[in-house]
Every structure is written in C-alpha cells, then in structure tokens.
Amino acid sequence: MDQFHILEKIKMIPVAYQQEVEDFIDLILQKNDLKRSEKKSNRKIGLLKGKMKMSDDFNSPLQDFKDYM
C-alpha cells in the first residue's frame, strides 16, 4: 500500500477520529525511536577483557576495618 492510498483513507475518516489516527502514528514513531535507542545502548560482552587487572589481594579484609572484625 502506498502513501497516496493511506492519505486518501485518512481524508475519508471523520474529523473527530483523525486525531486518534494522528495519536496512533505518534505512538508508532515513539516505539520506533525507542527501539533505535535500545539498539545503540547495547554493550559488547568482554570488551574490556585483558585491559583491566584485579589485585591479588582483592578478597582479603581491608586493614581499615580490622578493629571491627
């Protein structure tokens, strides 16, 4: 279906319902924008692998808290 047929059908709709059609179109456009933004925000797994190093004593208790243990 081409745009011309869609526009002709919209013109045949009573004016009171044309606002509902416009709201529906806006909703579809918002969903489309949301999907695009979700796709852009996806991160690659393992991107920093080998670039960060954790110290060997990472799990050992901190000296600052020895009085509380």
Pairwise CA distance, residues 47 & 53, whole Å: 14
**What is the per-residue pLDDT for 24?**
92
Q: Average pLDDT of 10-24?
A: 91
Q: Which amino acid is at 6?
A: I
**Whole-number pLDDT of residue 27:** 92
| pLDDT-based confidence at residue 39 (cuts at 50, 70, 90) | low
Percent of the chain as helix, strand, coil, to the nearest 5:
60, 0, 40
Q: How many CA atoms lie within 13 A of 5 on its CB side?
A: 2
